[in-house]
């Protein structure tokens, strides 16, 4: 498996005019960098590809799904903005060599509400219809679209592996997969090992996050069982450290990061990499 770090550890929005984050990820010894696509207009795919090649870094990409990019929204123009954003991201993945575009593409982050059953079903139907369009486009460009179950405080649509698999079944596309994150799984799954095994071959992306979003290995996520389960599924793709810094206010607010999670982002990434190499390294 390839060990990576997400650009949100240091910067948001990521901008290709400043390549220092990529250089930092390479210098720390990671195999891969994950580009967080806050604003596609700030990324020059050609410039990014050249830098990745120079640093010999593999790449993945994840999305930022704010309220204006919601494929499940009741307003058609908001749905279309979400679909357009996903298609733009898939094109960029194709250009830079990312095999996956990951994240909670089914809805906007931060929607946690009591809804009537009919309203919830209507919202899910809109998500399915638009994800079918996006997955078809993903197939066309040869990239997987991986949907991420989030914890109950960040979404009310897909919290568990079981719910994610149900959505995938409804969309019925070989290019719609699962993106799992141990931070969310620690909250929502009864047994992380069981959930990973259940997800099986549907897993296309994996975030290694500690229970408090701190450095992997510093909390109580059962990493030995997680690694064993992931290997049992045959997973051989990226394992990425995702965390956030309080200084990036918009992201910190969305993820409820109110205090430093390590002495520095560099230290969080370095300690996490050293720890994860024991379980996931080649």
pTM of the model: 0.95
Binned at pLDDT 50, 70 and 90, residue 281 comes out as confident
Paired tokens of 166: 């149900």
Paired tokens of 112: 């946690």
* Least confident interval from 154-168, 196-210, 235-249: 235-249
pLDDT at 249: 66
pLDDT at 205 over 90: yes
pLDDT at 259 over 80: no
Binned at pLDDT 50, 70 and 90, residue 282 comes out as low
pLDDT at 91 over 70: yes
Binned at pLDDT 50, 70 and 90, residue 250 comes out as low
Q: Residue 122 and residue 142: Cα distance in Å, rounded?
A: 30
Range 13-46 burial, b when 16+ CB lie within 10 A, else e = bbbbeebebbebbbeeebbbbbbbbbeeeebebe
| Helices within the chain (DSSP H only) | 20-28, 45-55, 76-96, 117-141, 161-171, 182-188, 192-199, 223-232, 249-255, 265-280
Active site residues: 148, 242
pLDDT at 30: 97
First to last CA, the chain: 7
pLDDT at 119 over 90: no
pLDDT at 156: 94
Stretch 248-257: mean pLDDT:
68
Write down the CATH superfamily of domain 2-280.
Divalent-metal-dependent TIM barrel enzymes (3.20.20.150)
Stretch 154-183: mean pLDDT:
97
Binned at pLDDT 50, 70 and 90, residue 115 comes out as confident
Instruction: Work out the mean pLDDT of the chain and round it to a whole number.
Output: 94
Question: Percent of the chain beyond pLDDT 90?
Answer: 85
Stretch 52-73: mean pLDDT:
96
Binned at pLDDT 50, 70 and 90, residue 120 comes out as confident
* Least confident interval from 46-55, 62-71, 113-122, 209-218: 113-122
Binned at pLDDT 50, 70 and 90, residue 251 comes out as low
pLDDT at 187 over 80: yes
pLDDT at 254 over 80: no
Domain definitions of the chain by residue range: 2-280
Binned at pLDDT 50, 70 and 90, residue 248 comes out as low
103: left (phi over 0), alpha (psi -120 to 50) or beta: left
């Amino acid at each position: 498996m390839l060990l990576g770090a997400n650009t949100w550890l240091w910067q948001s929005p990521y901008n290709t005019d400043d390549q220092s984050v990529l250089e930092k990820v390479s210098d720390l010894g990671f195999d891969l960098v994950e580009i967080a696509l806050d604003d596609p207009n700030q990324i020059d795919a050609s410039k990014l590809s050249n830098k990745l090649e120079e640093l010999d870094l593999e790449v993945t990409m994840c999305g930022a799904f704010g309220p204006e990019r919601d494929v499940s929204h009741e307003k058609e123009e908001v749905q279309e903005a979400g679909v357009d954003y996903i298609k733009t991201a898939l094109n960029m993945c194709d250009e830079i060599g990312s095999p996956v575009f990951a994240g909670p593409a089914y809805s906007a982050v931060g929607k946690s509400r009591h809804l009537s059953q009919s309203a919830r079903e209507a919202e899910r139907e809109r998500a399915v219809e638009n994800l079918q369009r996006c997955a078809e486009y993903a197939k066309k460009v040869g990239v997987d679209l991986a949907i991420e179950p989030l914890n109950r405080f960040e979404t009310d649509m897909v919290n568990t592996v079981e719910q994610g698999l149900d959505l995938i079944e409804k969309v019925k596309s070989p290019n719609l997969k699962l993106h799992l994150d141990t931070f969310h799984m620690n909250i929502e799954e009864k047994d992380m090992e069981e959930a990973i095994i259940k997800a099986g071959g549907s897993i296309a992306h994996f975030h290694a996050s500690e229970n408090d979003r701190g450095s992997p290995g510093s909390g109580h996520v059962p990493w030995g069982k997680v690694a064993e389960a992931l290997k049992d599924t045959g997973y051989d793709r990226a394992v990425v450290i995702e965390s956030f810094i309080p200084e990036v206010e918009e992201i910190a607010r969305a993820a409820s990061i109110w205090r430093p999670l390590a002495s520095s982002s560099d230290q969080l990434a370095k300690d996490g990499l050293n720890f994860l190499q024991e379980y996931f390294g080649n």
